[in-house]
Amino acid sequence: MLRRTKVTLPQRVSLTEQVVAILRDGIVAGHWSREMPSEAELCRELQISRVTLRKAIAQLVRERLLIPGGRGLHCRIRRKSSAREENTGRTVRVLSPRSVADMGTVHTVTIE
């Protein structure tokens, strides 16, 4: 009789996931400054189909690394924003008959 042993198969990574990793690494490393190269250029360079590239770009848009371009436009790379840029809310000021010293603790509330 044969003994049954548990065999662990290696994980397979799809071509789209490989392209996502390549593009993500290129963005993080700063290979492209503001815009990604065109789809045609990337397809030639990576030797992949346009469908595979579009799936990879869609994933990077979902991860908020890219801003999708319109028709005929290149995808733009989302800049890492500083804390100051992220907090672009509006300031609401409140008039009070009491001084700030009399109010005790002052709270900051962020409304999105």
Kindly report, residue by residue over 84-94, the tens digit of the pLDDT: 444 555 666 66
- Name beta bridge partners: 35: 76
Q: Is the pTM of this model over 0.85?
A: no
- Reported as a single tens digit per residue, the pLDDT across 44-81 is 999 999 999 999 999 999 998 888 876 655 678 887 65
Cβ 38 vs Cβ 71: under 8 Å = no
Q: One-letter amino acid identity for 65?
A: L
**pLDDT of 16 over the 90 cut:** yes
Listed residue (84, 31, 78) closest to 42, CA to CA: 31
What is the Cα–Cα distance from 35 to 42, expressed in whole angstroms? 12
